[in-house]
Structure 1
Amino acid sequence: MEVVRSKEFKAERAWGAKDIANMNGITTRLHWTDQPYKWHVNDGAEVFVVLDGQVEMYYRLSGKEESVVLNAGDIFFAAIGTEHVAHPIGEARVLVVECEGSV
């Protein structure tokens, strides 16, 4: 049993994470960041939940780049093959649920 106070979490580097759980190869991790990630495609589906702050999520559909601003409480689902990159607006804390070892 563990209680995680997400608003109190701060990593030593951008996209640093605290492992919350691993359930049959699906990981749940709390990330802190103040810097963009990198364009990537996950090995499996990904659920991206903004817990604190704002994140502009860029993604490509049929070669066209689009974006959406995610606020605290918003959820972004990246299906297999969705190329995307997260750009925090200031500091952000994000819960990510994905296949173990995914990019």
Structure 2
Amino acid sequence: MKFVTPNSFKGSRAWEALDIAEIEGATVRLHWTDQPYKWHQNDGDEAFVVLDGEVKMFYRAEGQEYHKVMKEGDIFHALNGDEHVAHPIGEARVLVIEKKGSV
């Protein structure tokens, strides 16, 4: 068994992760960051949950770029191949569930 208090986790670098679990080929990881990630496409679905802070999620659909400000408790579900990038607004802690080894 494991208990995790997300607000107490702080990485020494942006997007540092605390591995929570691996479930049937998917990883569950708590990330801390204060810097944007990079544009990417996952090779499987991804669930991205803001646990602490705010994140501006940019995404591309049908040749257009959009964004949404995510607050604590908001969930973003990216399908296989969806282009997206997360930009935290200050510090943020997010839970990411995705295929093991995904970008």
| Structures share fold, TM-score greater than 0.5 | yes
Q: Unaligned regions of 5+ residues in structure 2, if any?
A: none
Secondary structure of the corresponding residue to residue 53 of structure 1: strand
Look up the match of 2:69. 69
Secondary structure of the corresponding residue to residue 7 of structure 2: helix
CA RMSD of superposed structures (Å): 0.4
Secondary structure of the corresponding residue to residue 55 of structure 1: strand
- Residues 67-102 of structure 1, C-alpha deviations (whole Å, 9 max, x = no match): 000000000000111100000000000000000000
Q: Distance in 1 between matches of 2:24 and 2:78?
A: 20
Q: Distance in 2 between matches of 1:23 and 1:60?
A: 29
- The amino acid that maps onto 2:96 is V
TM-score (norm 1): 0.99
Look up the match of 1:59. 59
Q: How does 1:1-103 map to 2 (within 5 A)?
A: 1-103=1-103
TM-score (norm 2): 0.99
Aligned residue pair count: 103
